[in-house]
Structure formats: structure tokens, C-alpha cells
């Protein structure tokens, strides 16, 4: 049974690898292929973001220009734009872009989540509909490792690894059958929050924020903050701080200097890390 949120035209793109156009700055020699307008460039300077999770943008309809790093990629139906962890890219969509539908998949260490984004020119912002959460098979972990850390493999081999990784991840969300973890709304929320908690523990908060974690869950930041506290009893920031504090003690016990620990935990400067540590 195919996912009820995805239309027949969506499924056609997702199940037609011959239509896929793989684009990723992580691919050696894969440079941005379009130029941002001055208006888009000015907007991008204000919305540029990074986060810890890897993401896959799958273009399902419409034409868009998506800013990544210091360039931009043309995004048309069938484009598979892969974003690495901590790779700068635009946050959201400018109001002056045309209509489009994009499937966004967050690829975490142990699972992946997805949401369908719809942008319409007659309404500000965009609408987001979550598609659920799936555990990642070990085979996907191995392919992703080879794809993002090719160890001097030929570019053709790296592209094949990325293509296979994408195919396996997409297959999880096309079928809405027994593989899906959630069984009801309450379980969906709890499983999603548990997945986000595991992710924060893995990253120790480096590259994580309320906005980026809400993006994984497919919720608005306000709704995510409320659900997270209901499920865990603490705020998102308090949980990030707890994981950072645990990682600080672990790294300190291994003999790492405070300066190195601050950098590892993602603090902007030794001074900001010292202030945070003093507050603990």
C-alpha cells in the first residue's frame, strides 16, 4: 500500500530512478549549476543555516533554485539534492519563488524521517506534512558511509553508492505497511521524540537547535518544543545541555583540553564555552 500523502505523480518520480538527477556538493567535481538572483542572494544571506543531520531533497513538482554553500542548484522534478551534515544551505523558501512540492528526508544515525513540503505563490511560507519514521537497515549505514566518506574511491563508485542509498531510503517511505514504526498518533509522537533524543546524544548538541530538531520531526518549532517537553519532562535546550555535559565529562576523562572540548561540542568560541560551563 503506497503512502496516502503521496500522489500518483509523486510515486511515479520516486519509483523511476531513470528520471533521477543526483546533485550533491559532497560528490567530487559536482559544482553548483545555477546562479542566484540578486534578490535571492540577499534573502539567502539572512536565512543561511547548518545542522547536524544529513538531508535529501527530492523535487516532485515545480521549478526552484536552491542555495547550498556558496552556490546554488537548479531543482526540477526528479532532482535528488543531497546535503551533508553541517553543510550550509538556505532555510525555507523565499516568497518570490514559484509553486513546488519537495520531499525532505532527514537521514540520522539509526533512522530516517520525512516530510512533504508544499510551496504556493498565493500564500506566505509553506505547508509541511510528516510522513513518519523508519529505522535504517545496516546495509544503508554501510552505503552511506562509503558515499559520504569515499576514501579516494572513484567518483563513479561514490555516485553509485549515493544512488543506492537514496533508493533504499525512498523505498521505506513509499510503502506505508508493516515497516512503519508508528501505530497511532501518541506512539508516533513518542517514537519521534525518542529518535530525536538518540540523535542529540550522538551529536552532543553540536549543530542542533530547536529549529533543526523540529525539522527532523516534521513539526513547527513551537509544536515540537511542546511535544518534546510533554514526552521528556524537560525543554529541548535543557536536554541538549545535559547531553553536552555528559560528553564534556567523557572527553575530559580522556585527557582532551577544554579548548578542544568546546570546539568538539560546537561552541563558537572558548569564551562562550567557558560561560556555558560556568553556568552548569
Tell me the pLDDT tens digit for each residue of 142-179: 777 777 776 666 677 878 888 888 898 898 888 754 44
Q: What is the chain's mean pLDDT, rounded?
A: 88
Farthest CA pair distance, the chain: 57
In terms of phi and psi (left: phi > 0; alpha: psi -120 to 50; beta: otherwise), the region of 137 is: beta
Residue ranges covered by each domain of the chain: 8-180, 182-280
**Does 274 or 77 have the greater pLDDT score?**
77
CA dihedral 84, 89, 91, 92 (to 10 degrees): -90
Band (pLDDT 50/70/90 cuts) for residue 180 is very low
C-alpha cell at 39: 534578490
* pLDDT score for 188: 82
pTM: 0.89
At residue 277, the pLDDT reads: 86
Q: Between these two residues, 229 and 25, which has the higher pLDDT value?
A: 229
The pLDDT value recorded for residue 202 is: 94
The total number of residues shown for the chain amounts to 280
Tell me the per-residue pLDDT of 225-269, one tens digit each, with 9 for 90 and over.
999 999 999 999 999 999 999 999 999 999 999 999 999 999 888
Report whether pLDDT(186) > 90. Answer: no
Q: Under CATH, which architecture does the 182-280 domain have?
A: Orthogonal Bundle (1.10)
Whether residue 133 has pLDDT greater than 80: yes
Going by pLDDT thresholds of 50, 70 and 90, the confidence category of residue 106 is very high
Q: Which of 13-27, 46-60, 205-219, 230-244 has the lowest mean pLDDT?
A: 13-27
pLDDT of residue 141 exceeding 90: no
pLDDT bracket for residue 5 (50, 70, 90)? confident
Please tell me which residue, 66 or 146, carries the higher pLDDT value: 66
- State CA 125 to chain mean position distance: 19
Instruction: Report the distance separating Cα 108 and Cα 113, nearest Å.
Output: 8
Amino acid at each position: 500500500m503506497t503512502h496516502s500523502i503521496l500522489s500518483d505523480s509523486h510515486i511515479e518520480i520516486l519509483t523511476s530512478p531513470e528520471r533521477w538527477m543526483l546533485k550533491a556538493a559532497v560528490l567530487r567535481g559536482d559544482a553548483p549549476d545555477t546562479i542566484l538572483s540578486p534578490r535571492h542572494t540577499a534573502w539567502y544571506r539572512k536565512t543561511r543555516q547548518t545542522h547536524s543531520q544529513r538531508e535529501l531533497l527530492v523535487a516532485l513538482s515545480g521549478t526552484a533554485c536552491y542555495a547550498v554553500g556558496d552556490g546554488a542548484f537548479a531543482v526540477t522534478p526528479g532532482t535528488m539534492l543531497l546535503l551533508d551534515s553541517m553543510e550550509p544551505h538556505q532555510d525555507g523558501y523565499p516568497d518570490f519563488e514559484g509553486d513546488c512540492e519537495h520531499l525532505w528526508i532527514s537521514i540520522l544515525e539509526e533512522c530516517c524521517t520525512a516530510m512533504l513540503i508544499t510551496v504556493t505563490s498565493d500564500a506566505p511560507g509553506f505547508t509541511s506534512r510528516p510522513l513518519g519514521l523508519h529505522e535504517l537497515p545496516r546495509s544503508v549505514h554501510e552505503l552511506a558511509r562509503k558515499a559520504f566518506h569515499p576514501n579516494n574511491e572513484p567518483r563513479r563508485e561514490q555516485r553509485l553508492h549515493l544512488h543506492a542509498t537514496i533508493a533504499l531510503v525512498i523505498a521505506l517511505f513509499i510503502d506505508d505497511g508493516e515497516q512503519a514504526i508508528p501505530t497511532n498518533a501518541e506512539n508516533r509522537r513518542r517514537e519521534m521524540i525518542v529518535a530525536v533524543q538518540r540523535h542529540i546524544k550522538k551529536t552532543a548538541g553540536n549543530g542542533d537547535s530547536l529549529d533543526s530538531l523540529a525539522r527532523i520531526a516534521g513539526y513547527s518549532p513551537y509544536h515540537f518544543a511542546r511535544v518534546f517537553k510533554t514526552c521528556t519532562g524537560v525543554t529541548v535546550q535543557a536536554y541538549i545541555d545535559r547531553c553536552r555535559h555528559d560528553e564534556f565529562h567523557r572527553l575530559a576523562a580522556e585527557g582532551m583540553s577544554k579548548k578542544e572540548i568546546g570546539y568538539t561540542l560546537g561552541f563558537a568560541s572558548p569564551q562562550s564555552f567557558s560561560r556555558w560551563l560556568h553556568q552548569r
